[in-house]
Amino acid sequence: MIASPLRVAVIGIGNVFLGDDGFGPLVVETFRCRFACESTIEIHDLGTPGLDLAPYLYGKDLVVLVDAVEAEGTPGTLSYYCEDDFVSRSARLRVTGHDPGLWEVLAHLRLAGQSPSELIIIGVIPESCSFGEGVGAVLRDRSSIAADNIANLLVQRGIHCHRRQIALQQNFWWLPLPAAASVTMS
């Protein structure tokens, strides 16, 4: 009997117009350009979703979500979180516009028996989430590490994911030109 492939989604959330809150979209674009994965792996920049997040989580075996978080520590600290960390309030997603949507969606999917089997949140503590700033230098540096962490998580779960020999062209349309150029693809 052939095992069916895992249903996996890698999702970046955050508002690209609110400084470091754009970390999730930055990391997902960095990951997409740097790594090649099985064709069944879904990779999405979802901005600031609400209940419309449900189709992206529905019935998944693994969801890796990247976002800025409110937690103890210094700006730029990268951490892994599971759903229980947010329920216990040891961490919170940064912008309240998408924070409630995730938990409401998970509750609805649980009732339907279709919530993700595993939810991992790669969170970073932001330095500033002011309008129009773009992601700061500290978090731009961390985006490469976070993209590598996503690849490692997938490989640890037996999912084929490898570094591209030639990276795809990045589309950081929301970053000022000097900042976009400073996101390294090495």
Q: Is the dihedral of CA 82, 85, 88, 89 positive or negative?
A: negative
pLDDT in tens, 100-148: 578 888 888 999 999 999 999 999 999 988 888 889 899 999 999 999 9
> Residue 20: exposed, middle, or buried by beta-carbon count in 10 A (0-12, 13-18, 19+)?
buried
- For residue 134 the two structure tokens come to 């773009």
Superfamily for the 8-181 domain: HybD-like (3.40.50.1450)
pLDDT in tens, 71-82: 888 999 999 988
Phi, psi of 97 (to 5 degrees): -65, -30
CA 4 vs CA 44, 63, 133, 159: distances in Å? 22, 17, 44, 12
Question: What mean pLDDT value characterizes the chain?
Answer: 86
The ranges assigned to domains in the chain are 8-181
Cα–Cα distance measured from residue 168 to residue 150, given in angstroms and rounded to the nearest whole number: 17
Do 23 and 31 contact (CB within 8 A), yes or no?
A: no
Tell me the Ramachandran region of residue 128: left when phi exceeds 0, alpha when psi lies from -120 to 50, beta otherwise: beta
pLDDT of residue 92: 56
pLDDT in tens, 38-56: 989 999 999 988 888 999 9
Q: Beta-carbon neighbour count of residue 183 at 10 Å? A: 20
